[in-house]
Every structure is written in structure tokens, then in C-alpha cells.
Amino acid sequence: MPHLPDWLNPEPWLKHTVSAQEVERALSAESPDESTLAALLSPAAADFLEPMAARAQALTRRHFGRTVQLYVPLYLSSHCSGGCAYCGFAADRHTDRHALDFSAVEKELDAIHAMGFEEVLLLTGERSSQADLDYLRECVRLAARRFHNVAIEVFPMAEEEYRSLAEAGCTGVTLYQETYHPETYDRMHRWGPKKDFFQRLEAPSRALTGGLRFAGLGALLGLADPRYDMLALYRHVRHLQKTHWQAGLTVSFPRIRHEAGGFVPPHPVDEKMLAQIIFAFRICLPDVPLVLSTREGAAFRDGMAGIGVNKMSIASKTTVGGYGSEGSKEGQFDVSDDRGLDEFCAMLRAKQLEPVFKNWDGVYRLTA
């Protein structure tokens, strides 16, 4: 069983029962820190959602203005040897396996670019013969010809492998630890390379050392005690901010619900709790972009846009392909917000938020 290093271990914060007075003090903290986060994540803070939202909105406006950055995922392959208990693409799930060939990848990328996106997130499962580093590098190259930002959400890699992707035009990596709780991590990842907790934990750091500019972190809400995971996630972010001071970090809040395969999350997180978590992160990490995907429904996303969250995906397909051609039948998870891009942008504009497609330029790619 992996033993968490002190810099990551959130246990000391969980022993203390937070009072309403402590939440009030946390809400007016001049320089919010870890103790602020512990207070705002506590059960006592659930009664303070409105003042938390107000502070979160003011901070989001201050740091990001009235804008929401948009991106879109493209699943390249559903081949996976992994044994994640909660995933629709796990090796023992009876799902069709597909991988896009390069001409299909180009077709998908062209279709996505024609929609107006400037940031694409390329996804695969665990390393496989159908989707290995060479395959991924070629996909990144094809994407970098069309998009300013090309991020990957794939298997953890070695620093040199990340460097070769950065040289091919990759700008960011998204890699969720899934859960920071060692025992739960071990139980959820039943076999395969993902069993190695630290190999995954240290991957964002290797990616940043390898030349990627952006790293997206997160934990799958629902697997373990959300307070444990969110405090450890915060510690992970702060650690990377200190060790990789030039990195652009983002934090996502994927909430696991029923996936293909009928997984029931042992620690379900409801919408109020999710909102509390996002507000708490905004207050304690005011200048870190917070991301919300189409895993969440339209009403929740509309409510969070510009308040806690300033980066969102939309028009997403979780099937392999599906933009430029008919995708595979089954997706990794069900999209809860299936609105089209125009409808979503109209919603943002009605809330006086500007959808931003391009917020970076390919001219800033790896120059080393």
C-alpha cells in the first residue's frame, strides 16, 4: 500500500471538527490558505453556500474577467488494458474497441476546428499497441497543425516521452490522480500499470519538466471521502506551484456517476457538495483556472459559469470520434450537457460572459 508523503497527506486537517464561527472567519480570510480550505470544505460550511458563491464570483471576475474559456475533447482510442473499477472503457467491460486511424483523426480534427475551437484535448486509455507513444505523437502533430492548444489526457509517461510530445506541438497534459486515498486507489485500480500510485502522482511533474506548459489536475469525486481527496488535491497543486513555478495549472472536478458497467460510487457527491468544493477552491486558489466538463448537467453548469468556473468543455463526444464521422456506439461516460456550441455560447452571452476560444497562441510553443 502506498504511504502518502507528508507534503501530500491531508489527514491532519480531517481530525478537527470545524465550527460555524471558523467558517465565518475562513470566509473573511485576507490570505486564504490550507486552513481556509479545510474550513470551507467542512460540513459546517454547507450552510454558507451563498456567501461562498459571492466571494468566489468576485474572485473569478477579478482574475479572469467576464470570460469563459472553451475546449473540446477528442477520444482517439478506447483500447485499454486498464482495470479501473469505475470506467466504461476498462479491459473487462464488454465494449466495442476502436482507434481512429490518422486519416480519421484528421477528419475529426478538421470538423472540430470548423466548429471554432482552438483548444483540443486528445484522449486514450492505457498504453496499448493501438495507441502507443508513436501513435499519440503523430496525432499531436496533426492537431498542432490546426489548433493553438493541444492537450493530452492519456497514460502517464516518462519525461523524455513528454518532451517528444512537446516537440511535436503538445502544450498541456490533463492527468487526474483519480483518488489520493491510497487504500481506495489500490482497490479501484484492480490491475495493470495504473496500480502504481506514485508513477501517476509524479507524472504531471515529469510532463512539466519535459516541456509541457499546462497541467490539469483533479480527482474523481465519488471514489473516496471528497474532503480527503480535495485537500490532497489542493496540496498537490500547491506543491507543483512551488516546484514548477512557470506551469499553468488548472483544476477539474469530475464527478463520477453511473458509468457503462454499472459502477456505483461509494462516496457520492451531490450538486450542493460539488458547488461547495468549487467555491472553496476558487477562494483558496483564486488565480487557478477551474474547469467543469459536460459530465455535469446544463442547469448546474449554467449556474457555475463565471461564479466558480472559468473553463468549460462543450459539444463533447465521449465516443471514439463522432465529430467528423459517426463515432463508436459507447462512450466512456454519459454526457449530461448535450447542448450544441451555439446554444451554449448564447447561454454564456445571456449571462454577460464572453466565450473565449483562443486564449493562447501557437507562437509560444516549446522553443528550447
Partner 1 sequence: MLKLGTVEFKSRLILGTGKFSDTATMIKAIEASGTELVTVALRRFNREKPSDDLCAPLAKLKNITLMPNTSGAMNAKEAVRAAQLGRELSGSPFVKVEIHPNPHHLMPDAIETYLAAKELAADGFIVLPYIPADPVLAKKLEDVGCAAVMPLGAAIGSGGGLSTAEMIKLIIRDSNIPVIVDAGLRAPSEAARAMEMGCDAVLVNSAIAAAKDPAAMARAFALGVETGFAARQAGLMPKSDVAVATSPLTSFLK
Residue ranges in contact with partner 1 by CB under 8 A: 61-67, 116, 118, 148, 213, 241, 245-249, 287-288, 349, 352-361, 363-364, 367
CA-CA distances (angstroms) from residue 215 to 173, 174, 207, 245, 285?
5, 6, 8, 12, 15
**Cβ nearer to partner 1, comparing 245 with 270:** 245
Shortest spacing between CB 250 and partner 1, in angstroms: 10
Distance CA 6, CA 235 (A): 10
Shortest spacing between CB 173 and partner 1, in angstroms: 15
CB contact at 8 A, 22 and 44: yes
For residue 74, which phi and psi values (nearest 5 degrees)?
-130, 115
**Following CA atoms 53, 56, 58, 59 in sequence, which dihedral angle do they give, to the nearest 10 degrees?**
180
**What is the Cα Rg of the chain in Å?**
19
**Cβ nearer to partner 1, comparing 121 with 288:** 288
Shortest spacing between CB 297 and partner 1, in angstroms: 24
**Cβ nearer to partner 1, comparing 88 with 355:** 355
Q: At what angle do helices 20-27 and 49-64 cross, to 10 degrees?
A: 20
Distance CA 75, CA 61 (A): 32
Shortest spacing between CB 1 and partner 1, in angstroms: 34
Shortest spacing between CB 247 and partner 1, in angstroms: 7
One-letter identity of residue 301: R
Distance CA 296, CA 91 (A): 25
Shortest spacing between CB 257 and partner 1, in angstroms: 31
Shortest spacing between CB 65 and partner 1, in angstroms: 2
**Cβ nearer to partner 1, comparing 263 with 360:** 360
**Cβ nearer to partner 1, comparing 86 with 360:** 360
**Cβ nearer to partner 1, comparing 218 with 289:** 289
Shortest spacing between CB 363 and partner 1, in angstroms: 5
Name the percent of the chain in helix, strand, coil, to the closest 5.
Answer: 40, 15, 45
Give me the DSSP letters along 289-319: -EEE-TTS-HHHHHHHBTTTB-EEE-S---S
**Cβ nearer to partner 1, comparing 154 with 251:** 251
Q: At what angle do helices 159-167 and 133-144 cross, to 10 degrees?
A: 30
- CB contact set of 55 (below 8 Å; sequence gap of 6+): 27, 279, 282, 283
Shortest spacing between CB 33 and partner 1, in angstroms: 15
Residue with cell 490533463: 174
Grid coordinates representing 102 are 490518422
**Cβ nearer to partner 1, comparing 48 with 117:** 117
Grid coordinates representing 355 are 466565450
**Cβ nearer to partner 1, comparing 79 with 146:** 146
